[in-house]
Structure 1
């Protein structure tokens, strides 16, 4: 059976397609952005924890922890997220420890636009000397 279209329905498939795209494309891009931000946040948190553990070792110092954190971030995502890394001595549950704080900006879809500000930290208790 062959369906004939009337003159008034011509091009309606294109209009329907565009209307669906107007909804689906921003939704898809938003999901990608959330995924990117979560990936970068988790990577920064893991690198901060690793840097804090490294600085808290018997032979480590704060500069070593900062360098280790920067290296971890650079290897996993990009060095641009490792620009602002702070390392300091703190008290962790009553024991001397080290805290590494990473501040980063994740641009929209990784290419530019409005950025998402992130601040993650990692803690470790210092080994006895």
Structure 2
């Protein structure tokens, strides 16, 4: 659920060498994601997620509004199908094209904006967190 520079700094302070952010960069201007997906990420929080293997066969965090928009009941999803990631499959047959996923940090996303704006804010937040850490007494 890392979506800001504070989370990056916390992970590094805890011993991580790096972090991975996926959801945070989906609603950027440069992303090729569907504009409705980008807006759904802005409008959603972690309460809008449901974890299920019923879509692709692999457990993932799915956006409830996306499931509902595709005629699925987030409280009664199908059983996990057999995993099938055939790259020869037509794009229209890929369930994840219209049923959208998100990570736990989705609630930190407040706008569709440029990647540069996201990265700049991450850097400012990270620097502020490091400064705060350096002011703390060491144990």
Q: In which range does the TM-score fall when normalised by the shorter chain?
A: under 0.3
Q: Which has the larger radius of gyration?
A: 1
Report which of the two has the higher share of strand.
Answer: 1
Q: Output the TM-score relative to the length of structure 1.
A: 0.25
What is the TM-score of this pair, normalised by structure 2? 0.24
Relative contact order (C-alpha < 8 Å, sep 6+): which is higher? Answer: 2
